Structure 1
Amino acid sequence: MRDVYYRNVPLFGQQRVVDNIVDDLVATAGLKREDFHVCASAKGLVASDCLIVTLTTGDDLPLSSTNGKGYPDLATLQFTRLVADSFPRVPIYALVDADPHGIDILSVYTHGSRANAHSADHAGLGLGPRLRWMGVKATDLWR
């Protein structure tokens, strides 16, 4: 989407103008950004040491880490969905802060983004009980 903006900076003025136009087109057409061949730059990180653990059931468990660096972008959500779909019996853990922003980030992973609820791109991962909150919770502070 930055490429669209930089093609005619005087016309758009701000990156947010392009973002709004693309979001409006996607919502109006009832399609996804990828249908328009337009996407935002990914900001998330993926780390993997190619470690695969073979479980006693014979299943292979790949270990990797995805970091959304705060609120996840579309590419990070799509990648996490791909991993979750590829390994349906593997639990997914989320390490977020025990504050309102951390809980909101967790909500974006599970239910999608409120700001882009009109777009199928931003539907949550639908992981339900597979997505487990890892880390300190507010209730842990009172124990």
Structure 2
Amino acid sequence: MRYPVKRATGSARAFAQMFKVLEHMHEAIVDGVPATKRDIYYKDTLLFKKQKVVDNLVDDLAATFELERADMNIRATSKGLVCGSGLVMHLVSGEQVRGNDTEGAFIPVGEDIKSYTVAEDVEWVLVVEKDAVFQTLCRLRLADHPDLARGLIITGKGYPDVATRQLVATLAALLPRRIPILGLVDGDPYGMDILAVYKYGSRAMKHEEEKLAAPRVKYLGVLASELTSFGVHHDALLPISMNDEKKALSMLMSRDLPVKWKKELSRMLHSRRKAEIEVLEGGLVEYLVAKIGNKLGE
């Protein structure tokens, strides 16, 4: 079916977009060939304009029908990475994806994973906001650092994709409670919001929250309020923007956050300062060894 894309405006375009997504969902189910949100977007970029339009429609339709994306044969495109030789992901195809301690391995979509094997000596999991920071930690072998027990490092490269969230949620469900699952994000409202998606889930996919949320996730850092004790001068922190302020106020009003998170957001608003992970520069590994070590000692 073809739609008069150039003439479609307002509600007409919205209906055309919805029916086009439904058409591709129907094809995926009938043909038995999975499609990704990205596949759907690129089949009609003129109609959809933005990838987010497809993402939102798929999530909204799944919620409306009370289905998961897998039930509609629609897959999310995976972008997340995991580092650490203590994890093996066994695929439905019979293949294995093995983590290693010096570089990231792509996290397969949940539908392709049959089971996980986690080494008995894994003692911590670190979820990292930024890909560049993740790559640095892999290169410096934090996952098997001599001053720490063995661990796993995961990144969703910003706001996480479904496969990354599902891995974190699965580890949270499988691992003993003594093993901490920690978040390393920028000390700003957006970093904390990314961590909240791992911990609580996203509003857009509330219907899949049980499978994707990991309430055990704890905020490790960076916390602007504590950085002076790690040798970072107050002047090295960045001023918060109007968007930061709006985001912080929105989170304080709309999310049921832990007290520690609320205090940190309130301090940012009062001091008008925020901290990026990179402010630690060459001291990042030492910072993490100290912080993770303290968590393991609790």
What range describes the TM-score normalised by the shorter chain of this pair? Answer: 0.7 to 0.9
Give the letter aligned to residue 102 of structure 1: G
In our comparison, the structure showing a higher alpha carbon Rg is 2
Normalising to structure 1: TM-score of the pair?
0.76
Using the alignment, how far apart are the partners of 2:222 and 2:49 within structure 1?
Answer: 43
Q: State the 1:10 CA deviation.
A: 4.8
The two structures, once aligned, show a CA RMSD in angstroms of 2.5
Structure 2 gaps of 5+ residues are 1-36, 88-118, 123-150, 230-298
The match for 1:132 is 218
Q: Spell out, residue by residue over 1:21-67, the C-alpha distance to the aligned partner (whole angstroms, 9 max, x if none).
A: 2122101011211221212211111112338xxxxxxx923322111
1:47-86 matches, within 5 Å, as: 47-50=83-86, 60-62=120-122, 63-86=151-174
The match for 1:113 is 202
The match for 1:24 is 60
Using the alignment, how far apart are the partners of 1:106 and 1:18 within structure 2?
Answer: 24
Q: State the 1:113 CA deviation.
A: 1.6
Structure 1 gaps of 5+ residues are 52-58
Using the alignment, how far apart are the partners of 1:97 and 1:76 within structure 2?
Answer: 19
Count residues with an aligned counterpart: 132
In the superposition, relative to structure 1, how do residues 8 and 74 fare at CA in structure 2: closer, same or farther (>3 Å)? same
Give the letter aligned to residue 108 of structure 1: V
1:88-103 matches, within 5 Å, as: 88-89=176-177, 90-103=179-192
The match for 2:76 is 40
Q: Is the 8 A contact 2:166 2:212 kept in 1?
A: no
Q: Is the 8 A contact 2:169 2:212 kept in 1?
A: no
Q: Is the 8 A contact 2:59 2:205 kept in 1?
A: no
Using the alignment, how far apart are the partners of 1:30 and 1:77 within structure 2?
Answer: 20
3-state DSSP class of the match of 1:49?
coil
Using the alignment, how far apart are the partners of 2:226 and 2:56 within structure 1?
Answer: 41
Give the letter aligned to residue 97 of structure 1: D
Percent of aligned positions that are identical: 44
Q: Is the 8 A contact 2:165 2:212 kept in 1?
A: no
Using the alignment, how far apart are the partners of 2:193 and 2:207 within structure 1?
Answer: 18
Q: State the 1:107 CA deviation.
A: 1.1
Runs of 4+ in structure 1 deviating by more than 6 angstroms, as ranges, are none
Using the alignment, how far apart are the partners of 2:189 and 2:49 within structure 1?
Answer: 33
Using the alignment, how far apart are the partners of 1:8 and 1:137 within structure 2?
Answer: 43
Q: Is the 8 A contact 2:172 2:181 kept in 1?
A: yes
Using the alignment, how far apart are the partners of 2:191 and 2:48 within structure 1?
Answer: 33
Normalising to structure 2: TM-score of the pair?
0.40
Using the alignment, how far apart are the partners of 1:140 and 1:17 within structure 2?
Answer: 40
